[in-house]
């Protein structure tokens, strides 16, 4: 994975990732992923990555997978180092009696807010509600049930690591926090 990403960043952006550069030099995650998605969608080559060659077409898809895996690695690391801020915010809202009067909105994929709010359910008697219908609300063997009142809303504008979308059945499943 590291070798392939190193090659990709050098071939496409002319960035040597072994040399420390200012942060603004690097493309955003969305820019890097977007280039790969466009190449696949348009059936076009990238510099050094031919779409016509079956092996390289697969290489572009593997690069996309590697970028997503890198993102999950970074998010996983942040789950242990930054969780305290979210827990403190939620604890303060509970102690002030305001938790059921607050709606949360985030553009992050991480589940830091989810974990902080999910921990409330047994003690504060509030349900975490994403404002979405998940297919596993209807599964008899599922731990997930439709939220009940009082509820606290968490709107995740870009999606979440604990949501799984099935393009075949066009359904969204809620996975463990």
What residues contact 37, with CB distance under 8 A and at least 6 apart? 64
pTM over 0.75: no
Domain ranges of the chain: 2-81, 83-174
Low-confidence stretches of the chain (pLDDT < 50) are none
CA distance 87 to 89: 6
* φ, ψ for residue 166, nearest 5 deg: -105, 110
The confidence score (pLDDT) of residue 121 equals 66
Answer whether 124's CB lies under 8 Å from 99's CB.
Answer: yes
The confidence score (pLDDT) of residue 18 equals 87
The confidence score (pLDDT) of residue 103 equals 95
Q: Which two tokens mark 157?
A: 């504008």
């Amino acid at each position: 994975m590291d070798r392939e990403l190193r090659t990709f960043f050098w071939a496409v952006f002319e960035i040597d990732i072994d040399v420390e550069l200012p942060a603004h030099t690097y493309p955003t995650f969305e820019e890097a992923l977007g280039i790969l998605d466009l190449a696949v969608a348009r059936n076009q080559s990238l510099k050094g990555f031919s779409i016509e060659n079956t092996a390289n077409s697969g290489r572009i898809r593997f690069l996309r997978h590697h970028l997503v895996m890198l993102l999950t690695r970074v998010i996983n690391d942040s789950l242990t180092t930054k969780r305290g801020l979210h827990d403190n915010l939620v604890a303060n809202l509970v102690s002030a009696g305001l938790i059921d009067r607050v709606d949360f909105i985030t553009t992050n994929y991480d589940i830091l807010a989810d974990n902080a709010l999910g921990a409330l359910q047994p003690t504060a008697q509030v349900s975490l509600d994403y404002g979405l219908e998940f297919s596993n609300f209807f599964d008899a063997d599922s731990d997930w049930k439709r939220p009940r009142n009082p509820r606290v809303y968490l709107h995740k504008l870009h999606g979440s690591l604990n949501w799984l979308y099935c393009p075949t059945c066009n359904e969204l499943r809620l996975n463990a926090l």
